[in-house]
Amino acid sequence: MEAIEPKLSSNSRPDLKLKRMIETHITTIAENSNEHSTMLKELRSLSPTNQRKIIKLRDRYEALFREVIADCVKRRVFRDMNVKITTLALLGMMNWLIHWYAPEGPMKTDEIARIFSDLFLKRPRR
């Protein structure tokens, strides 16, 4: 939340906000992979009280992405689509980094963020 919320304060276009959010999410996962892995894989292991706390934060975080994606649809950056499913697809794609990203590997986080952003934001040439 702390890393993403500042990306939303600007008056820039929603696609640029989404691009910065993707970059931030990927960088944060890469820099804090143990914490993200624990959060994503071990949520069920928490006490019910702590589960509710984490789920509330997760839902707030997801809502930030959903709002920006909905704005992209509203401003016709994206075609009309199911915003919730699109948001979950984007977050799922990015969160899967915990399984395959290696800091010593051939790709750096900025390259991965560019590829992921392009999947969502680049329009095909006609």
The correct answer on CATH 1.10.357.10 for the domain covering 5-121 is yes
Q: Per residue in 75-104, pLDDT tens?
A: 988 889 999 999 999 999 999 999 999 989
Domain segments of the chain as ranges: 5-121
Measured at the alpha carbon of residue 74, what is the angle toward residues 68 and 75, in degrees to the nearest 5? 90
Q: Per residue in 41-77, pLDDT tens?
A: 888 888 999 999 989 999 999 999 999 999 999 998 8
Q: Per residue in 1-15, pLDDT tens?
A: 777 887 777 778 999
**125 or 99: which carries more pLDDT confidence?**
99
